[in-house]
Chain A
Amino acid sequence: MTKLDLATALRRALLTTTAMGSAAAVLLNTVAASAQAESLADLEAAAKKEGQLTVIALPHDWCGYGAVIDGFKAKYGLTVNELNPDAGSGDEIEAIKANKGNTGPQAPDVIDVGLSFGPSAKAEGLLMPYKVSTWDSIPADAKDADGHWYGDYYGVLAFEVNSDIIKESPKDWADLQKPEFKNAVALAGDPRTANQAIQGVYAAGVASGAKDAKATGEAGLKFFAELNKNGNFVPVTGKAASLAQGATPVVIRWDYNALADRDTLNGNPKVDVVVPATGVVAGVYVQAISAFAPHPNAAKLWMEYLYSDEGQLAWLKGYCHPIRFNDLAAKGKIPQALLDKLPPAEGYKKAVFPSLEDQSAGKEVIAKQWDSVVGASVTN
């Protein structure tokens, strides 16, 4: 993947967000000015005085967060309170709201949420702006111009296949409809609840070649309705355990989760991770600091750490593409060994980055109509 392709894709996708962002930026100049990165040494001292950081919704096997958190603890000696690794983006926002005024370790300092939750949280006044020292190397279309939220990593939807059960891995979405995959295909969640699942449906729609977001959503639903009718769709939430047990031998997941599973399962069973030939959808997640963070300096230090080369490469080790991937690649900072562990780069060239508007339009269609188009057939 060339940096040009990726940048163009991002730019094309998130154009409207920039327009809105720049308008707001003019008005909020003073705020933006105060969000400049402070000197790292001062920040470190202030953070150490606070002594702890509270994070939420960071499972250890997601993007290698376990190693990221350990690295942060080792480097700065702070305690990290890990709240609810099982939380969804909605939970994180709710946790900020519920902990307004709470200075205890239950109040999250930083959040890692889906793209659409960034602007909505900003609108509700829940975020504190901050621009890390490497701010300029974050693509303009993946961040809020005032620094309230900023993209951290992305991945694409891939097929995670239990190779012991499925002898020949599917190469593309259309393959999933074949009779070899009877009772085999699962999503990693409920499309009304989990972002990962709904993007999976959206990706199936993209593969069908639909043009706008609404049509894509509907095409995705049709795909899954057909999958269900053929008896290929398993309505169980796909996880490492159900993949290994055989209930869901093919799971549609973010590539980084699939690759992490491949590592944990360690050959038992053998796992094949396939980026589909068409319909490659990428999902960006964003970082933000809570406006009511009890430990704001620790939060800022955390951000500095995440967006430093060290932090970004730690995410890459967890198989997530860090947002500064192109910058790091241009500077030659990415070890070849790391690159080799990822799926071939060609798969990512065709990645589609749905804009905020596309995402909401697609979600609207898929979440509302999932039951009637797909689920309703499983009655009793």
Chain B
Amino acid sequence: MKQSKIGAWIAFIIGTLYFIVPLIGTFEFSLRMKRDEYSFEAYRVVLTDPNFLASFGYSVLMALITIVIGAILVVPTAYWIQLRLPKLRPIVEFITLLPLVMPAIIIVFGYLRLYNSSSWIPLTANARSTDLLLSFSYVTLALPYMYRAVETGMRSIDVRTLTEAGEILGASMMTILFKVIFPNVRVAILSGAFLTFAIVIGEFTMASLLNRPAFGPYLQLIGANRAYEPSALAIIAFLVTWGCMGIINLVGNMKSNKRMA
């Protein structure tokens, strides 16, 4: 059917303008570090800092771990709720909304009280276990977005028929879950992954109070009382995060293309 594309183009162009113009405003300001001329001085200051790569790399690693843990937690849950436990749906949805309204600082102080080195799960005892605690806190923060994305995706596939087909063909539960369901909600998981990635890269409060060398605290340290560097940092962080997401997108789509071939 011939559809007018005008509407779509108008929506897209207005959207693009709305999103790009504030970024241009930030970029323009970041170029003003040297008086009366446009220069990349602010960028030079930021990029020559050795901590930039170190903290960004750490956060990228944490983000990937968080995405994996989040997906493994959320997808089966959404699946089982949809298939067998619809009565639990309101409760689970309410739980997943909690991180949005609980201030992150209350959550992290709660963790410190519960899981510090002299409690029953001493997660702050050493650096690795603190990293684990930090990734759990990131999973918690990203939970609303991951859950909503996966649940929406799962709604749009016929879970029951897929499961039945798998059962008829003699597949075990694990096989159905990982070889049938996961690939079919791939797009939704990717959406959730993007949201999680962005959250982890920019997150500050938890990393800072758990004393881990993440990108958020680094941004804060550099940008706290400066004028031009924060804008340069915002642009750099934006571009680099966007690039990483592009890579995640490619990898995510690659897997599915391989299977279909």
Q: Which residues of A contact B (CB under 8 A)?
A: 54, 59-62, 81-86, 91, 94-95, 97-107, 239-241, 243-245, 257, 260-261, 264-265, 267-269
Contacts and interface: CB of A to CB of B under 8 A. Distances in A.
By CB atoms of chain B within 10 A, which of A60, A103, A268, A269 has the most? A268
A59 B208 CA distance: 13
Contact of A85 (B210, B221, B227): B221
A334 B221 CA distance: 30
By CB atoms of chain B within 10 A, which of A60, A106, A264 has the most? A106
21 contacts: A59-B225, A60-B224, A81-B211, A82-B221, A83-B208, A84-B209, A86-B220, A91-B105, A98-B112, A102-B116, A102-B117, A104-B117, A104-B124, A106-B124, A106-B130, A106-B210, A240-B226, A240-B227, A241-B231, A244-B228, A245-B227
Interface residues of B, number: 34
Contacts, number: 103
Interface of B: 29, 32-35, 105, 109-110, 112-113, 116-119, 124-126, 130, 204-205, 208-211, 217, 220-221, 224-228, 230-231
Nearest to B41: A268
A132 B32 CA distance: 46
Nearest to A104: B124
Nearest to B225: A61
Given A86-B224, A101-B116, A268-B34, A245 B124 contact: no
Contact of B224 (A85, A101, A103): A85
Contacts of B204: 86
Given A95-B112, A101-B119, A102-B124, 7 more contacts: A104-B117, A104-B126, A106-B116, A239-B225, A241-B228, A244-B227, A267-B35
A105 B211 contact: yes
A102 B109 CA distance: 12
A260 B225 contact: yes
Nearest to A66: B221
A299 B156 CA distance: 58
Shortest Cβ-Cβ A-B pairs, 5 listed? A102-B116, A104-B124, A61-B225, A98-B109, A244-B227
B101 to A, nearest CB: 19
A98 B205 CA distance: 15
Nearest to A269: B35
Nearest to A102: B116
Contacts of B130: 104, 106
Given A101-B117, A268-B35, A240 B225 contact: yes
A303 to B, nearest CB: 21
B211 A54 contact: yes
B112 A99 contact: yes
A62 B225 contact: yes
A253 B67 CA distance: 42
B131 to A, nearest CB: 12
Nearest to A99: B112
A103 B117 contact: yes
Nearest to A54: B211
Contacts of A267: 35
B210 A264 contact: no
Contacts of B124: 102, 104, 106
A268 B226 contact: no
B222 to A, nearest CB: 9
A341 to B, nearest CB: 18
A124 to B, nearest CB: 15
A355 B224 CA distance: 30
